[in-house]
Amino acid sequence: MTAGPTALDRLRALCLTLPEVTERVSHGEPTWCVRKTFVTFADHHHDDRLAFWCAAPPGVQEELVAADPERFFRPPYVGTRGWVGVRLDVEVDWEEIAELVADAYRTVAPRRLISLLDSRA
């Protein structure tokens, strides 16, 4: 019996399908960039919470955390810039995760790449 894809595998696949995204290790964790970081895997704090942190449009962090604090949180370090933490150790809606990743990408990507992404849809 083989195991299915891990949460990291699924997150990586979502990030790497976006135009010109690269992966690197930052602070010991996989991180995805499009000129600037837009998503980082977050297991290095060993706080019993498997998650990722992502850039978010203004106001989204507050909205998500207020609506579902069991799934969303204000991450350390980047939370002050509006980033949102998303738990992966609870029931995960991967369609919603894909939307959050795409929104994070749109938050930091150059206009040309956002247009390229839009043309794919």
Does the domain at residues 7-113 carry the CATH identifier 3.90.1150.30? yes
What is the tens place of the pLDDT at every residue in 59-83?
Answer: 999 999 999 999 999 998 899 999 9
Specify burial of residue 49 (Cβ count, 10 A radius: 0-12, 13-18, 19+).
middle
Give 26-57 pLDDT, tens digit per residue. 988 999 999 999 999 997 656 678 999 999 99
pLDDT in tens, 5-29: 899 999 999 999 999 999 999 988 9
pTM beyond cutoff 0.85: yes
Tokens of 74: 């204000």
Find the helix or strand (DSSP H, E) in which 117 lies: helix 111-120
- Phi, psi at 111, each rounded to 5°: -55, -40
